[in-house]
């Protein structure tokens, strides 16, 4: 079983929720090592009667700190020590709910990038309708066409590993389906991606997210982040409006119908719970890196650790390396 290092001091609710999440993941068969202030983590484990291996890290990088400066100044920070375990081969992956910038910097400077990868990207799975891999969703605000081409390859591998799709359909996010649409960035990226050995379906629009038309959506980090959060917010709002409408009607027949529909609506709403997957992969790093939400509870941490473990077990990094070299 591949070992996953948890930045146990990272996140709004660390270390209580990170430790509890790690214990939950361990109960599911994930090999977890806690990284952080040893005495504090031992206290948390003792409080719940749990046992997990600990690697001591004296410092923590706060959310408000400048990531690049903090990485240089705090060599003993938990996210750095956890990344060093991956770099040395003592762990196959890392999970952190701390500063995203610090996690990105640690992955770049400590773990390192896969050979040939210019920009690692954050890849997440949009759960509505037909699950869709979306990348980049925040790691790279400014990109070049060749970066988007690499995102296409890496996203295709993520879809193979996590969605079980042998030949994922890859689409380039744009303002229209025609090849000539978009900025110079998208026009040039289109030409590069269509030359790759991928199932490239061309340009797609935001409305194609989750409708079954595509399995992977490729975008720059700014656009991808806006797309994902807008879609999540809209879906939740629609669900809330429907719930309010159904529960406010006094007609007995409609109330009876509402009792049948409500469980399905609540199930749909749960799909948009950030804790369902626990985090998003930073693809392009030499190890399996999962970035969790800062507000992660034990449920989210447990799921993030399982996500990282699954990626390591299925050789996500090796398959990305093979895809980029092929």
- Mind listing the pLDDT tens digit for each residue in 4-43? 999 999 999 999 999 999 999 999 999 999 999 999 999 9
- Whether residue 16 contacts residue 44, with contact meaning beta carbons closer than 8 Å, is answered with yes
> How many CB atoms within 10 Å of residue 65?
17
Q: Is 222 exposed, middle or buried (0-12, 13-18, 19+ CB in 10 A)?
A: middle
Q: How many CA atoms lie within 13 A of 240 on its CB side?
A: 7
Residues in the chain: 326
Domains of the chain: 1-117+284-314 (3.40.718.10), 119-277 (3.40.718.10)
> How many CB atoms within 10 Å of residue 58?
14
Radius of gyration of the chain (CA): 21
pLDDT of residue 164: 93
pTM over 0.95: no
Q: Left if phi > 0, otherwise alpha if psi is -120 to 50, otherwise beta: which for 186? A: alpha
Only one residue has tokens 């090849």, namely 179
Pairing label, strands 121-126, 169-173? unpaired
What is d(CA 76, CA 189) in angstroms, rounded to the nearest whole number?
40
- Whether residue 6 contacts residue 82, with contact meaning beta carbons closer than 8 Å, is answered with yes
Each residue of 121-152: pLDDT tens digit?
Answer: 999 998 777 889 999 999 999 999 999 999 99
Say which DSSP state 111 is in.
I
């Amino acid at each position: 079983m591949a070992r996953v290092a948890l930045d146990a001091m990272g996140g709004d609710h660390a270390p209580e929720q990170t430790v509890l999440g790690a214990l939950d993941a361990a109960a599911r068969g994930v090999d977890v090592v806690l990284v952080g202030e040893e005495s504090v983590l031992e206290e948390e484990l003792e409080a719940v009667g749990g046992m997990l291996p600990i690697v001591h890290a004296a410092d923590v990088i706060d959310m408000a700190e400048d990531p690049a400066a903090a990485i240089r100044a705090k060599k003993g920070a938990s996210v750095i020590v956890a990344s060093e375990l991956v770099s040395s081969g003592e762990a196959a992956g890392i999970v952190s709910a701390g500063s995203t910038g610090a996690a990105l910097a640690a992955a770049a400077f400590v773990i390192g990038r896969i050979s040939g990868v210019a920009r690692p990207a954050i890849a997440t799975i949009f759960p509505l309708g037909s699950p869709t891999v979306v990348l980049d969703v925040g790691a790279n605000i400014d990109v070049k066409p060749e970066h988007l081409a690499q995102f296409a390859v890496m996203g295709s591998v993520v879809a193979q590993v996590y969605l079980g799709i042998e030949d994922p359909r890859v689409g380039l996010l744009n303002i229209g389906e025609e090849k000539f649409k978009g900025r110079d960035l998208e026009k040039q990226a289109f030409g590069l991606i269509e030359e790759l050995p991928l199932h490239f379906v061309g340009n797609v629009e935001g409305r194609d997210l989750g409708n079954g038309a595509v399995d992977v959506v490729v975008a720059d980090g700014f656009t991808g982040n806006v797309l994902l959060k807008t879609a999540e917010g809209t879906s939740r709002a629609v669900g809330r409006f429907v719930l309010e409408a159904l529960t406010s009607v006094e007609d007995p027949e409609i109330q009876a119908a509402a009792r049948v529909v409500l469980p399905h609506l609540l199930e749909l709403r749960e799909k948009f719970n950030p804790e369902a997957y626990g985090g998003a992969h930073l693809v392009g790093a030499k190890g399996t890196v999962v970035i969790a939400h800062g507000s992660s509870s034990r449920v989210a941490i447990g799921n993030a650790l399982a996500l990282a473990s699954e990626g390591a077990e299925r050789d996500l990094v090796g398959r990305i390396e093979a895809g980029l070299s092929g």
